Amino acid sequence: MENMDQQQDTVTQTETPEMKESNTGPSIAIIIILIMIILGGIYFWIGRSENVQAPTQEVTEFTEVENTLNTPEFDAIDAELNKIDAEFDVVI
């Protein structure tokens, strides 16, 4: 009977391996999250720097429109609008 009890104890001891506590899982998760945050920041930084250069194109387009409006063709329209404005001032 004792021999049978010893065999059962041996079987139960070999069937349940000891679980070792490991801290590598949370550490790896934190490192992955930090890498993702850093990569997101770099992506955002690059996107913002490209957007900063875009207004120079708008400024050149604005100056082109302004130069077109300053041509002699529009001076006649400007004179006409000033004449209409003067007529409204007289009426009011």
Q: In angstroms, rounded to a whole number, what is the distance separating the alpha carbons of residues 35 and 33?
A: 5
Is the pLDDT at 33 greater than 90? The verdict is yes
> Structural domain boundaries of the chain?
25-91
Rama region for 64: left / alpha / beta (φ>0; ψ in -120 to 50; rest): alpha
**Mind listing the pLDDT tens digit for each residue in 61-72?**
778 888 877 777
- 34 or 75, which is more confident? 34
Question: Phi, psi (5° rounding) for residue 61?
Answer: -65, -40
Predicted model pTM: 0.35
